[in-house]
Structure 1
């Protein structure tokens, strides 16, 4: 494979950099690590966290499949495991085994340290699979990655990267789904990528290379990175992209696809799906990064952008296989073609983006904690920032947040008190920035919002204080509504959000997270959280009906009549989307989590059926780590122990699907089992209407 020379991006702001993390040639950048993604039979894989239970099971499977594993790391220990060497450090492993890639199998609170060790050892490719990696840990890692040109990161919070042709798996993808072939796949969601892989395998196409972007706020490798690989990969003839709400990666991909199709005589066909069309505004949908911040595009905007760029859109991953086979057979695609969506595709009639006031009371988000305004103002007072709680028509908006594209913190400034995308601008800066005194960044922000030069000192103090709070308390967003009083600025309102992973996985920021009041949250969601379940109750008040141009007339008829139980955040979002497209009305989003057990499934049923609106339950499982037979056992337990009164439709695919389907069929219980999504969806919608 030959990659075109990638353009070097000019620095966007002044930054203060510490030492570099590799001996990179002058002018080399992180973009130069893109070729490291092209794994295959040649790739020598190292494991960090080698002797752990999950890593051990993964190594056994991957070795049997054909992956070339050269050993693993257990800090300070030398020896042997599974017939392979144990190295005391990544540096020693690099010297003795010369790995091309490292699979990091350590908990989220240790992931950043493991990645840093791999960067310092100049491992070409690092794959981090863990969830719940604190966002500030990853911000620090990205500040390192941007100073070097040796190491490429995939993840975190992703199933990894896999070459079906080269039999190289770096991650925990379910191997029975894969077959060598010609389709390149890049996805945010693990379960949706498995569905996509299985669909292309059933269609006789197979896969060339599958890259996971992952579901976190900050990704080491994004859609455009993967598209550049697929463009020049001779093994890849068709490309599939699976996106979801949160960030702008899909919009960036749409721009790349548009430009690619304009400059290429015979472009490779590209298909896509976007999950989260039905996601309530402001809610986190399972993945840490699956939420749209104020001013970010929603799922519908992403869908439309990809369609306009020439991607063929589908509403369910089952349709990718036959759709791509048709496109490859025809040798060309029509820009904006939507032949494979069925039932109107994903189009919903939503044409305007909801604008959210940054100071309005947000919906409670799992994996994030928003504190009350008076609490945020008290924190500012501790930094000696003038605070006057009031509203003024001349207020401006100043925020410290995370720039998902620049992979760094940023100042967001708007000339209005609310974050209006048309009047706002981002100013990224290095995570290693220590002070803003004399910074041109302050001048740029002041100029954008119309502050006089006499206010620069006050603005510097405010930004410096926000930045200190952001780092000290591990926030992900600090929003302020600011007014001018003479030469000084004063804060009139504030909304602060903090990273939940810093507390949950690392035990940090206990004082901040002690401010959470679960009595103010939906009791079903609090109960679900105890069992590791992500549950979001859908109610009509959460729908942005006042903000859309066209509203489907019968949308609220039978509202909430279908309960959903799904493993995987992306698949759970798409399940709700697809059922709605078919005319169903879902009561909830429910992600059992990647490590669901039979007890988890039983708890999920109890929570779903506590909603009196539910007339039928739809179980949609694609078995990866979660086995279909285990899900079937949980369903049977729920029926017997909870005295279930509502009908249940079950769709099982993936690991042990035949065994799971057999258990359901032989249970003697009133369960309706299906292989395909379309038939299952029609059945549950019909049952819910009775």
Structure 2
């Protein structure tokens, strides 16, 4: 089992209450008392000043080893002392990813009611351990990580890094995986005169502290919320669970709040993580198209760009319906998101052999993961558990057994299927459903779970030897999962001479744990095969997530801040008849140099005829992006046209820099106009 030097918590269940009882803590308002962890850091300081000016009741903060004052507020050395002296209702955690798990645990120990973690790339095993802790208590609620945070426009309380100029007090509640798409939604509802009530950024992590259903249940009861915007994306089953919740909510409510939604990632690149830590289709998870269908069947109006959300919700609140019939030639004015998917083949679930953890001939590997191939996996299984391993002979039913992560349960799980089809290259082919058997992170799977797994696998040999060999395989996989911080350890097995034989294996481990300080000896014995595209590797060194999209006729290079917005930009361009050559997320901490390097990466692709820069700033500043564009023009001698759309934080400054540059740039603040221009230029 996992050993850790971090503080330990009791594994017993709480005597009174549960984690669900902490949902009311999400109802922040003007009276919410907020502290910052990492208070004296640069980002926390800037954020605190802006939030104070906006009206947030920040009462102080924590920096280990420090006491005194900072920006006129008290600084204390521990969260425990801050709780005793400042009596906060919430804490905002502004520390690096490798420090964030300890900061979250410290806040849980101190029983801070609401904990908001904004950091990206927290190792997934740290989050699984934290969820195991959260489930044993009823005093603290977590939002994040990999989240913009939570904000009440009505109560002027901001716990996160949302761009404040976009917000206005109003009636629309927002639940979003993507920060940038939530900002676009905020801007849309502000332009429509609706404003916002409570905006909950559940975030794009694999194991979020608050999920979509939990956030929806809070907005249902929020008296300030009259309508809801739901922003999802690829990865996980949260949107399907939200659809089931919405269907039940509409059936039991006499006057339900209208809900409009968007799903980003329809045009995902299979085998890649699309920016967010959890933005990939895991084993047995639904496609973006399947999520759209389920939400529409539940009664949600789906759109293909967040700029449409404000007007649609306004029409619904006024009782005039939704989109209605569209006229004219504007490609962005057409129907719902589902109507734009007529060329996609077959709804359904990703097959066992598709997605980011493919078992044969992957074009690219996930940067979230490091891998062992089949022969290396066999060596590990033999050495650790004496497991019988070897190539598939063609005889016997192949079954799936894997140790991975159940995103809905927010815990590790054993994933099984009683049969596996022959290898099929086409991603649309489906296989037997994958059944998940979650288990507590700190306790591991118990004997009863293993008995149920044996039954579900439909082994023909029910004897002790078959079950014992299955038990030994599960123990070996789970030990490896803990020790090497696994993401998905997959095996295919058959029955052989009354026992289990592994005929294929592929293991993926969390690279974030290595980047964020895991001791090298934890993975040094593994032979890792790097097969990423060279341009993608080079981009990653600059903090850029770049994915080259397939096709000979793709012509639009995209440069976007934020994974959700980058996915949606590719989707919306496709709906309008454009063809993006790449997905590119500059990252939340982009600099002018990052923007220049993004241009360099994009222009290495000879297919690109125009670059479309689509920025909606939160942490990313509009003026910084503009300076990066000017730098790229000067240093890279650009010969392709550039279309620029800048909104959000410092948008006016950024637009002015572009306007005053004297360079041949096409500048817009409206997405539809900018996209239409980029498509026009791409066809010349």
TM-score when scaled to structure 1? 0.91
Query: Where in structure 2 are the equivalents of 1:384-463 lying within 5 Å?
Result: 384-392=386-394, 393-417=396-420, 422-434=432-444, 436=446, 439-451=447-459, 452-454=462-464, 455-463=466-474
Q: Secondary structure at the match of 2:273?
A: coil
Match of 1:535 among 538, 546, 552: 546
Deviates more, 1:351-360 or 1:302-311: 351-360
Once the two structures are superposed, residues 262-306 of structure 1 have per-residue CA deviations (whole angstroms, 9 ceiling, x without a partner) of 111111110000000000123100001000013211111111111
Query: Where in structure 2 are the equivalents of 1:578-593 lying within 5 Å?
Result: 578-593=572-587
Match of 2:334 among 343, 350, 354: 343
Contact 2:332 2:575 in 1 (8 A): no
Match of 2:351 among 340, 355, 369: 355
The Cα shift of 1:320 comes to 1.2
Deviates more, 1:69-78 or 1:247-256: 69-78
1:492: which partner in 2?
A: 503
Match of 1:191 among 180, 189, 192: 180
Query: Where in structure 2 are the equivalents of 1:538-553 lying within 5 Å?
Result: 538-540=549-551
1:548: which partner in 2?
A: none
1:147: which partner in 2?
A: 136
Q: Secondary structure at the match of 1:47?
A: strand
2:68: which partner in 1?
A: 79
Query: Where in structure 2 are the equivalents of 1:39-78 lying within 5 Å?
Result: 39-78=28-67
Match of 1:612 among 606, 616, 626: 606
Q: Secondary structure at the match of 1:330?
A: coil
Distance, in Å, in 2 between the alignment partners of 1:659 and 1:63 is 22
Q: Secondary structure at the match of 2:612?
A: strand
* Structure 1 residue 465 corresponds to structure 2 residue 459: no
Contact 1:24 1:150 in 2 (8 A): no
* Structure 1 residue 658 corresponds to structure 2 residue 644: no
1:552: which partner in 2?
A: none
1:474: which partner in 2?
A: 485
Deviates more, 1:336-345 or 1:273-282: 336-345
Once the two structures are superposed, residues 626-680 of structure 1 have per-residue CA deviations (whole angstroms, 9 ceiling, x without a partner) of 1111111111111111111111111111122222222212222211111111111
The Cα shift of 1:391 comes to 4.6
Contact 1:282 1:293 in 2 (8 A): no
Distance 1:112 1:163, change over 3 A: same
Distance, in Å, in 1 between the alignment partners of 2:152 and 2:69 is 27
Query: Where in structure 2 are the equivalents of 1:553-632 lying within 5 Å?
Result: 559-632=553-626
* Structure 1 residue 239 corresponds to structure 2 residue 234: no
Contact 1:502 1:509 in 2 (8 A): no
Distance, in Å, in 2 between the alignment partners of 1:198 and 1:288 is 25
Match of 1:120 among 109, 133, 137: 109
Once the two structures are superposed, residues 505-535 of structure 1 have per-residue CA deviations (whole angstroms, 9 ceiling, x without a partner) of 12345663774444x3211101101100000
Once the two structures are superposed, residues 86-136 of structure 1 have per-residue CA deviations (whole angstroms, 9 ceiling, x without a partner) of 122111111111111111111111111111111111111100011110000
Distance 1:145 1:515, change over 3 A: same
Match of 1:286 among 275, 294, 297: 275
Once the two structures are superposed, residues 425-466 of structure 1 have per-residue CA deviations (whole angstroms, 9 ceiling, x without a partner) of 111111112564xx1111100000112142111111110110
Contact 1:477 1:498 in 2 (8 A): yes
Distance, in Å, in 2 between the alignment partners of 1:426 and 1:21 is 22
Q: Secondary structure at the match of 1:378?
A: helix
* Structure 1 residue 670 corresponds to structure 2 residue 664: yes
1:369: which partner in 2?
A: 370
Query: Where in structure 2 are the equivalents of 1:69-218 lying within 5 Å?
Result: 69-218=58-207
Contact 2:97 2:119 in 1 (8 A): yes
The Cα shift of 1:359 comes to 2.5
The Cα shift of 1:24 comes to 4.5
Contact 1:314 1:338 in 2 (8 A): no
Distance, in Å, in 2 between the alignment partners of 1:35 and 1:228 is 10
The Cα shift of 1:352 comes to 3.0
* Structure 1 residue 295 corresponds to structure 2 residue 284: yes
1:551: which partner in 2?
A: none
The Cα shift of 1:615 comes to 0.8
Distance, in Å, in 2 between the alignment partners of 1:29 and 1:503 is 33
Distance, in Å, in 1 between the alignment partners of 2:421 and 2:138 is 39
Q: Secondary structure at the match of 2:106?
A: helix
Deviates more, 1:506-515 or 1:368-377: 506-515
Distance, in Å, in 1 between the alignment partners of 2:347 and 2:311 is 32
2:4: which partner in 1?
A: none
Distance, in Å, in 1 between the alignment partners of 2:521 and 2:208 is 26
Distance 1:662 1:606, change over 3 A: same
Distance 1:289 1:41, change over 3 A: same
Once the two structures are superposed, residues 445-498 of structure 1 have per-residue CA deviations (whole angstroms, 9 ceiling, x without a partner) of 000011214211111111011000000000110000112222321211101111
1:12: which partner in 2?
A: none
Contact 1:314 1:341 in 2 (8 A): no
Contact 1:21 1:120 in 2 (8 A): no
Distance, in Å, in 1 between the alignment partners of 2:180 and 2:517 is 26
Runs of at least 5 residues in structure 1 that lack an aligned partner in the other structure? 1-17, 541-557
The Cα shift of 1:140 comes to 0.3
Contact 1:403 1:409 in 2 (8 A): yes
Match of 1:255 among 232, 244, 256: 244
Distance, in Å, in 2 between the alignment partners of 1:36 and 1:341 is 39
Distance, in Å, in 2 between the alignment partners of 1:94 and 1:23 is 24
Distance, in Å, in 1 between the alignment partners of 2:321 and 2:567 is 30
Once the two structures are superposed, residues 598-642 of structure 1 have per-residue CA deviations (whole angstroms, 9 ceiling, x without a partner) of 111111111111101111111101122111111111111111111
Distance, in Å, in 2 between the alignment partners of 1:102 and 1:74 is 13
Contact 2:381 2:387 in 1 (8 A): yes
Contact 2:185 2:307 in 1 (8 A): yes
Distance, in Å, in 2 between the alignment partners of 1:538 and 1:33 is 42
Q: Secondary structure at the match of 2:318?
A: helix
The number of residues matched between the two structures is 651
